[in-house]
Structure 1
Amino acid sequence: MAWHTIQEAQQLTGKSRRTLYRDMAAGRLSWAPEGDSARRLETSELIRVYGALLPMAQPEAEKTAHSDTANGTQDTALILAELKALREEVAELRQAMRLIEHKPEPAQPDTPESVPPDKPAPWWRRPLFTRKG
């Protein structure tokens, strides 16, 4: 649950500051220290001690858009067109990746038979000891 200051707890419970501090001192209301001299109270503790809480009036934020970002502007249409183009490009790239991932790899010359006879074998394929004789 949320933590509240003493002032917020007053608004939530409808109790006075003095009542809150008296209940904290008597041990009826649990609290936690915040900084050197502040206290904070948890919502569940306030409900346990005082019952249902009062609704806090929260000011509704004023919602205004910038004049350039109103719905239906030319910029919005450009952004949507660019978004569509980018989505198509991503789909094409994904398809290309699928084709690359499933493409069989060419055979690598790991066996001595795959080395042409006119070329000498690489140093790591040559025998360590040879008999001359």
Structure 2
Amino acid sequence: MTNIDSLWGALGIKSESVHRIRLGQGLVGKSTLGFAITIISIAVVAYKTNNEYLLFLIPFFVIGLFVWFFRSIKDFTEKNPELALLEGANLLAWKQIELAAKGVPKPENQQLIENPNPNDLGLPVKEIGE
């Protein structure tokens, strides 16, 4: 663990701040972690290789992978927004609330009413210091 902490220190990042990073519980959070690990491993390969052709192709590969990943995540989240962010007990609670609200009609669009002045309501108004 010391090697990783020294690596963070070399990058100017405190290791404590990295340990506090939390991704979402759903698919997006978990797949983002996997994507980050993939990018880091490709970066290590690029750092260790001396092959000029490989060094030329790696940035295009990483950019293509990046575009594909976020396009697929975007498509999935548009189709399944609750699955993208929740899992397990949180997802079940969400579904229970959704099912419980099925018989409740949607509120109609109405004109917003401005917050009334207490004097207009005929209520006693206390002055500060009374």
Which of the pair is proportionally richer in strand?
Answer: 1
- Normalization by structure 2: what TM-score? 0.25
- Normalization by structure 1: what TM-score? 0.24
Higher relative contact order (CA 8 A, sep 6+): 2
Which of the pair is proportionally richer in helix?
Answer: 2
Could you say which structure has the larger radius of gyration? Answer: 1
